[in-house]
Amino acid sequence: MKNKFVIKNPKYLILFSLIIFVSMFVVLYGTIKLEKKLEQKMLSISISDVISISLNSSKAISKLLKNSSNYIEDIKKDENLHKEVEKNLNILLTKNIKYAYLLYRDKKGVFRFLADAAEEDKAFINQKFDIDSPKWLEIFKTKNPVLIKQPLLHQLSITYLIPILNKNEVKLILAIDFSVKKIEDINKIIKIMKYAIITIILIILFFIIALVVQTIKYVTAKKSAFIDKLTNVFNRNYLQEHKDFINLNDYLLVAIDIDYFKKINDTYGHDAGDRILKQVANIMQLCTRVNDDTIVRYGGEEFLILIKTKRKNHLSALNVLERVFNSIQESKFRISETESINLTVSIGVNLTPGKSRTFQDAFKLADIALYNAKNKGRNKIEIYSNEQNENFYMTINDIKDAIEERRLTCYYQKIVNNENLDTSHYEALLRVINKKGEIITPDKIFPVIKGTFISRNITKYVLDICYKKLLENKDISLNVNLNPQDVVNDSILAILRNYANEPDIPNRLGLEIVENEDIINYDGAKKNLLMLKNLGYKLYIDDFGSGYSNFIYLTEIKTDFIKIDGNIIRKILDDKVSYLVVKNIVNFAKEANIKVIAEFVSDEKIYEKVKELKIEYSQGFYFSKPEENL
């Protein structure tokens, strides 16, 4: 397996890099913009006190004029008032503030002096004042203070204008001229800049610490997300994350299923089932090699093991697998403090997963082998190899092509009444025609497509064929096969509801459902079957007696027919156990008012025994082989 610690989700590393980039960009951008920002920084540092004092002075002047109706004329005519105004202006003069004066604008728009705080070259009243910036005019629009900057070589010369209002109109302007030495303020700005850079470094350091903490949490959470909490082996998330990094040439792919696990849960409870799962996983861990083999809980009672192997030499890997299989058989599994049971498992093995294009394809072959192990009675190891591939004539892509090219058809086999040998109805049996024109039977198809959407598409295709056949021929009845997944599929249920709108179709279209524990496991299956029953469809349980038999469930879904598995029927002449199984099924069915059909009735002797057991219907080669035409 490739390195498990390869970084596959570097989002935090990307975030960290982005923070570094943005931080450095901010520093670079700030450096480029530093020259322009110096003045603003200097002003904010140097003029805050000047502005505060100037605003206080303007308030004082406004207070002096509070009883005046005409500010300009009163200051001109009232000598005492003029002196008080200039006294306020004198207070503003400092080392940096060179000039303070009061102006007004005449009717022609010319600015003129009203008062001047200067000791030398003092302006007289009404002396003209020439403005050097259009900002002087802004004050009459905004009615807010205005700052005018005039940069010189070593200093900034600043004029600060404050409006004095009367009846919400600007009547007077208090003007203060002062200067700021650049070198002193630049030193302050550089100091501020150092603090800013230190702050950025601290922020970056904080993010690095946060990144380290978050990464530790992320790794811990990821590890936890990959472990099944119940069994302490890897879970499906681990497989999903790592499957593309697994070198399939280095492993055997093993699919393991606990036999009749649903029955254990139903009989002893889910707590007992959880105990069983823990013990099975523990046995697997003890029997496999810590650094070589990987155990994954793939589903409820399904496990997957990747067993390390040497190329072209599977002996050591198969020994590990045999050790797992035998240890489970020989162990006692505790379901409570005082009670234990025996268990078996079915195992499917893909010897050459490296020949598959993807992990999913390789697993599918192991699953096919597992399917065969369960079909052959469970408690078996089935190996899928290239040689076994001859048993499966079609790949998934072949089947998809066959559907698209409409190379699917149905053959029909009679089901006869044992009393008078009249044909009761027919079972529709899927056939696929390959590109060579050969007829492929379902046993070569369904193991390949099990659990895929193609299985549902085939069901829809067969339903359509049968529906059209029933519309063409009003005198026949047909049975069609559904798997447990079909029973809970909304699109298939919608098709059956739609067919039920056609008079007499439900009564002539029987639904055969394979008897296994999956039908009980699917949520909503029972409700859906009862719904179909209420629509008028007849329910048939197919291959009854071959696997998980829940007699109570049959009565709950109001089954109409039981079809006894042909592998049991064919042995009733020679095998006493098979005969007793059939007899008990028939007795139960009669008590439950369920009719019975015997499958695989291949000769007269079996037919006579079936009649002796009072089975109502038969199906098999003794009466007819599947035929394309009715």
Q: In the 8-state DSSP scheme, what is residue 444?
A: G
| Mean pLDDT confidence for 481-501 | 90
C-alpha 8/C-alpha 291 separation (Å) is: 22
| Mean pLDDT confidence for 454-472 | 91
Every domain of the chain and the residues it spans: 35-186, 236-391, 414-618
DSSP string, 602-622: -SHHHHHHHHHTT--EE-STT
Say which residue, 226 or 34, is predicted with more confidence: 226
CA dihedral 369, 370, 376, 378 (to 10 degrees): 150
Say which residue, 27 or 583, is predicted with more confidence: 583
Q: Is the pLDDT of residue 26 over 80?
A: no
- Nearest of 355, 321, 199, 347 to residue 259 by alpha carbon: 347
Q: Quick check: helix, strand or coil at residue 275?
A: helix
Say which residue, 386 or 436, is predicted with more confidence: 436
**Is the torsion defined by CA of 278, 241, 451, 393 positive or negative?**
negative
The CATH superfamily of 236-391 is: Reverse transcriptase/Diguanylate cyclase domain (3.30.70.270)
| Mean pLDDT confidence for 240-255 | 86
Q: In the 8-state DSSP scheme, what is residue 454?
A: H
Contacts of 177 by beta carbon, 8 Å cutoff, 6+ apart: 97, 98, 99, 100, 157, 158, 159
DSSP string, 11-55: HHHHHHHHHHHHHHHHHHHHHHTHHHHHHHHHHHHHSHHHHHHHH
CB crowding 215-229: b at 16 or more within 10 Å, else e: eeeeeeeeeeebebe
Whether residue 5 contacts residue 222, with contact meaning beta carbons closer than 8 Å, is answered with no
The Cα-based distances of 534 to 303, 313, 537 in angstroms read: 39, 58, 7
Q: What separation, in Å, do the N-terminal and C-terminal C-alpha atoms of the chain show?
A: 56
The CATH superfamily of 35-186 is: PAS domain (3.30.450.20)
pLDDT value, residue 42: 61
What are the beta bridge partners of residue 511? Answer: 480, 539
* Distance, C-alpha 629 to centroid of its chain: 49
pLDDT value, residue 145: 92
285-294 contacts: CB < 8 A, separation 24 or more? Answer: 285/232, 285/233, 286/327, 287/320, 287/323, 287/324, 287/327, 288/320, 288/324, 289/320, 293/320, 294/1, 294/234
11-32 and 182-225 are packed helices; what angle lies between their axes, rounded to 10 degrees? 170
pLDDT value, residue 21: 58
The Cα-based distances of 315 to 299, 320, 325 in angstroms read: 28, 9, 15
| Mean pLDDT confidence for 140-163 | 82
3-state SS, 336-371, equals CCCCEECCCEEEEEECCHHHCCCHHHHHHHHHHHHH
What single letter denotes the amino acid at residue 536? Answer: G
Contacts of 314 by beta carbon, 8 Å cutoff, 6+ apart: 252, 351
Continuous segment of H or E residues that includes residue 160: strand 155-166
Q: Which residue has the tokens 């006579």?
A: 608
pLDDT band, residue 519 (cuts 50/70/90): low
Whether residue 336 contacts residue 272, with contact meaning beta carbons closer than 8 Å, is answered with yes
**Cα angle, residue 479 at apex, residues 439 and 446 outer, rounded to 5°:** 45
Say which residue, 23 or 105, is predicted with more confidence: 105
Q: Is the pLDDT of residue 616 over 80?
A: yes
Q: Quick check: helix, strand or coil at residue 430?
A: strand
Say which residue, 421 or 388, is predicted with more confidence: 421
The CATH superfamily of 414-618 is: EAL domain (3.20.20.450)
Q: Which residue has the tokens 């082996």?
A: 233
C-alpha 350/C-alpha 384 separation (Å) is: 5
pLDDT value, residue 3: 39
| Mean pLDDT confidence for 283-303 | 90
Whether residue 339 contacts residue 239, with contact meaning beta carbons closer than 8 Å, is answered with no
pLDDT value, residue 105: 92
Average pLDDT, the chain: 83
Contacts of 616 by beta carbon, 8 Å cutoff, 6+ apart: 417, 418, 419, 595, 596, 597
Q: Is the pLDDT of residue 376 over 90?
A: no
pTM over the 0.85 mark: no
pLDDT in tens, 526-561: 889 999 999 999 999 888 876 656 677 677 788 999
pLDDT in tens, 339-357: 899 999 999 888 888 888 8
pLDDT in tens, 27-71: 656 655 665 566 566 667 667 777 888 888 888 888 888 888 888
Task: Locate 379 and state its tokens.
Answer: 């408690």
Say which residue, 140 or 385, is predicted with more confidence: 140
| Mean pLDDT confidence for 87-93 | 87
The lowest-confidence range among 28-32, 304-308, 408-412 is 28-32
Contacts of 583 by beta carbon, 8 Å cutoff, 6+ apart: 613
